[in-house]
Structure 1
Amino acid sequence: MTGAPPRELVLIGIGTGSIEHLTLQAVREINAADLILIPRKGAAKADLAHLRRAICNEVLSNPATRIAEFDLPERDPATPDYLRRVDDWHDAIAQVWAATIAAHLLEGTGRIALLIWGDPALYDSSLRIAARLGTMTVRVVPGIMSINMLTAAHAIALNRIGAPFIVTTGRRLREEGWPQGTDTAIVMLDGECSFTHLDPGGMTIWWGAYVGMPEQILIEGPLAEVRDRILATRAQARARHGWIMDIYLLRKDAA
């Protein structure tokens, strides 16, 4: 044991999967863990578990640290209400976490680590799921966000001088249209290319898939000109890899 307090869960942000994007704190916490949990998301997303294992193989030097994999439950598409569907899904994930921890941390005490894509605070549900585990202490190690990776990859500023921006989801962009009070929107969790629901006139997009990874793909330009190229490129990449993570920044052109 590493002397950790009883049942402490550490959520470690790992950026977009590149070992070079791990912070020194993340490396230290990985090596301080008694148990590292790695989720499996099915054959189509096996690369995600593989990348987590690769990170552990590269930076983990503590021979006492155990690694346990578990199958991540899927959301029930039969539940019509979106928030209820997500809430039920989080309950199911919490139960799997608890069962996996109980099976592999037989002493009942120790430090458990989960490697989180990006940062645990941005469009990631790990903190909400962890809250379901009762009295377990939870700590967070911040990671590089996909927003940082996107703007760095395109070498662009996130906002105009003195201007606000909004981070939203593809679902909200489809249902609500362009967000009010800003000329810049960063869109995440968009499996349906929701920019196709907008009038492309006077708008520029900076799109990226697998940002920060060897498979990285970047496209930028006036939305009206590059929209179809993004759709085709995204479909081809998803077919090739079996999964895709993409994010984009949309900005209305200055008047």
Structure 2
Amino acid sequence: MRELLVVGMGPGHPDQITVQAVQALNRADVFFRMDKGDAKSGLNAARDEILRRHVTRPTYRVVDIPEPPRDRSPSLNDGGYLGAVRDWHEARSELIARAIETELGQDGVGAFLVWGDPSVYDSMLRVVDRVLALGTVCFDYAVIPGVTSVQALAAAHRIPLNRTGEPIHITPARKIAGGLPAGLDSAVVMLDRGFTAAGFDEPGLSVYWGAYLSTPDEILISGPLADVAAQITQTRARLRERHGWIMDTYLLRRDAKPATGGHAKPATGGHAKPATGDRETTG
């Protein structure tokens, strides 16, 4: 029976591939990848470097699957958003099923390299289930975990994701569009089409932001949100224009108040660490 491996590749740095993932990659006959076009060719370049660095068997093949269009209208409400994602997943499933059926032998091993860890990037796992549900091709599959951009963000800023006794909360940006909810003092924000937090007017918020984490293009900015929001917004726009795509995430945190009460203690002055090694300072 065919076998499919869903391998977490981390944020893109070849050194963040686990030993288990390397072993899995060296079992694969065919690597499938979704072709997102020239604007996102850097994503495939990262995958190619991982294969070049870690796969020793010379006979593997890479099969590109065209990425179907997806409605990303910012006006979509929750119901419309879920419907758009469902349609996108259905289209992806049909293309992937066809590729597996035509490109992978009956006893072959195929693999998808997915960003971060499949437990966070749930799209591929949902699509794999849909492919099986179509009934046009049969296979077994395994999931190999990887480093997440959330872990890379915390490591780069040298911070924990929560304070003592607090939960860790990871959310898409659209779920906090109205601000950080009451009672939630730390949140990792992902899948932000812009920089949603720039519109927050709540005092006493700090942000730890990172783009292209764990890659040579990594850039970090942190500090009081009010002081660095404009800088993050401008930097993000500049990077997207330069690279044609951007992957970023950030931690929002309410500043801790002293146990005796009183004013919130602000974070230390904001700073950015560009990929060039030069340092910008603000505030």
TM-score range, shorter chain: over 0.9
Aligned to 1:127: 125
Q: Does 1:154 align with 2:154?
A: no
Counterpart of 1:32 in 2: which secondary structure?
coil
Q: Does 1:61 align with 2:61?
A: no
Aligned to 2:233: 231
Deviation of 1:197 (Å): 2.7
Deviation of 1:34 (Å): 1.6
CA distance in 1, matches of 2:13, 2:91: 29
TM-score normalised according to structure 1 size:
0.93
When residues 188 and 77 of structure 1 are mapped into structure 2, their CA distance, relative to the original with a 3 A threshold, is: closer
Deviation of 1:165 (Å): 2.7
Give the counterpart of 2:194 among 192, 195, 216.
192
Aligned to 1:33: 28
Aligned to 2:142: 139
CA distance in 2, matches of 1:95, 1:180: 42
Deviation of 1:77 (Å): 5.2
Aligned length: 248
Which 10-residue stretch deviates more, 83-92 or 178-187? 178-187
CA distance in 2, matches of 1:100, 1:83: 26
- Contact (CA 8 Å) 1:165, 1:183: kept in 2 or not? no
CA distance in 2, matches of 1:246, 1:220: 13
**Amino acid in the other structure paired with 1:232:** Q
Identity fraction in percent: 43
- Contact (CA 8 Å) 2:172, 2:192: kept in 1 or not? yes
User: What CA deviation, in whole Å up to 9, does each residue of 1:144-201 have, x standing for no partner?
Assistant: 0111000000001111011113110111111x53234321010000012110232241
What does residue range 6-21 of structure 1 map to in structure 2 within 5 Å? 6-21=1-16
**Amino acid in the other structure paired with 1:76:** D
CA distance in 2, matches of 1:179, 1:144: 28
- Contact (CA 8 Å) 2:115, 2:121: kept in 1 or not? no
CA distance in 2, matches of 1:136, 1:197: 47
> Unmatched 5+ residue regions in structure 1?
1-5
**Amino acid in the other structure paired with 2:81:** Y
CA RMSD of aligned residues (A): 1.6
Q: Does 1:169 align with 2:172?
A: yes
Q: Which runs of 4+ in 1 moved over 4 A?
A: 77-80
TM-score normalised according to structure 2 size:
0.84
Aligned to 1:42: 37
- Contact (CA 8 Å) 1:165, 1:182: kept in 2 or not? no
Aligned to 2:96: 97
The structure that has the greater radius of gyration is 2
Deviation of 1:206 (Å): 0.2
User: What CA deviation, in whole Å up to 9, does each residue of 1:66-106 have, x standing for no partner?
Assistant: 2211211121358951111100100111111111122212x
**Amino acid in the other structure paired with 2:240:** R
